[in-house]
Amino acid sequence: MASKVVLYDKIAGQADFVGFDAGGVMNLDHTNSGWRNTWDPINAGAFTDPGFRTLVLYDRIAGQADVVGFDAEGVMNLDNTNSGWRNTWEIITAGDFVGNGKSQLVLYDRIAGQADVVGFDASGAMNLDHTNLGWRNTWDVITAGDFVGNGKSQLVLYDRIAGQADVVGFDANGVMNLDHTNLGWRNTWEIITAGDFVGNSKSQLVLYDRIAGQADVVGFDANGVMNLDHANSGWRKTWDVITAGDFVGNGKRQLVLYDRIAGQADVVGFDANGVMNLDHTNSGWRKTWDVIIAGDFVGNGKSQLVLYDRIAGQADVVGFDANGVMNLDHTNSGWRQTWNTLVTL
């Protein structure tokens, strides 16, 4: 099934459910009205059913989180409000942390030094909430993936000040049962992206150091110990947005790196050792793309990009061939300039 896009307009209190045909032409657009203008983070995942993707919308002011789903036409057909949420959750990350085939959230409260694992039942009601104590208040970036290869999601928590990264996992009840600290990490990693870049059915990280012009591919063993670290040098210092997906259709993840100043985008891939073995530069890109999201929007089993140009009120669906050369670019016009958030469903 092809990916869809949910576009949230905070000002209008509306969310559009948008789909595309095989040529990247928008063929579905349903507007759902009556949305609050106080939703902060919006997370997508299979929260209510392993085969059904929904949204969790967190209202920090109200201390509430709604689980929202849509039917095939993009009409909202599920909206369950969960109350009593803290207003101090800073980072919210989705993944299958407990291994039940659905998605849960890990909510990190920096002030309290706590992280809750929260899950939902088929109706979107919260049916799991375990608080893990004693977390540092210095985690900068939290990234989810199956880093240890056990079929569940874990977190990599990067502490920029300490130069450390912990791999953290949870049991079926959301209790932390894995925590390994990896030392000696730089404090200059700016963008951290997770995916199976080397093709070993686990997740690795690509860590981009803008100052050094380097990107490390980092992997971990079954205990969360770092067992792969290859530094790729000669990277530009001007990449603005880095997005992961299987853009070339080889079953691994590649990166699309967007250089706003140059108006270029590189498709970059890696071999089994984390060495860069694909780098194709696509030129002539606009300098005005605001939001870039990845998904299989045209339904061909690969990843494409939706690039939203707020000023022009346009969104391009862009795809690539096996060599990373852009072979699809359809511009959809008439988009609002007031979409705040674009989420892939």
Q: In this predicted model, what pLDDT tens digit does every residue of 113-167 receive, in sequence order?
A: 999 999 999 999 999 999 999 999 999 999 999 999 999 999 999 999 999 999 9
Residue 247 belongs to some domain of the structure: no
Kindly state the percentage of the chain with pLDDT values over 70: 100
Residue with tokens 């990247």, as numbered in its chain: 24
Tokens describing residue 28 = 């579905």
Asked whether residue 313 is domain-assigned, the answer is: no
Residues in contact with 3: Cβ distance below 8 Å, sequence separation at least 6, in sequence order = 295, 296, 297, 344, 345
Q: Residue 111: inside a domain, yes or no?
A: yes
Q: Considering the domain boundaries, does residue 198 fall inside one?
A: no
Check residue 194 and give its pLDDT. Answer: 98
Checking if the pLDDT of 104 tops 90, the result is: yes
Flag whether pLDDT at 1 surpasses 90: no
Instruction: Please tell me the distance from the alpha carbon of residue 67 to that of residue 46, in angstroms, as a whole number.
Output: 11
pTM confidence score: 0.96
* Number of structural domains found in the chain: 1
Cα(56)–Cα(62) distance, integer angstroms: 14
**Contact between 237 and 213 (Cβ < 8 Å):** yes
How many C-beta atoms lie closer than 10 Å to residue 284's C-beta? 9
Assigned domain for 135 exists = yes
Q: How many CB atoms lie within 10 A of CB 128?
A: 19
CA 27 vs CA 16, 203, 300, 319: distances in Å: 13, 34, 16, 17
Domain interval for residue 69: 38-149
341-344 and 5-9 strand pairing: antiparallel
| CATH number (domain holding residue 107) | 2.40.128
Distance from C-alpha of 317 to C-alpha of 264, rounded to nearest angstrom: 16
Contact 29, 16 (CB under 8 A): yes
* Residue 134 lies inside a defined structural domain of this protein: yes
Output the pLDDT for position 212.
97
Based on DSSP, count helices (H) and strands (E) in the chain, helices before strands: 0, 28
Are 5 and 15 spatial neighbours (Cβ–Cβ below 8 Å)? no
The closest of 317, 277, 290, 335 to 29, measured between CA atoms, is: 335
- Residue 267 inside a domain? The answer is no
| 204: in domain | no
Q: What is the dihedral of CA 157, 167, 207, 193, to 10 degrees?
A: -80
pLDDT of residue 102: 98
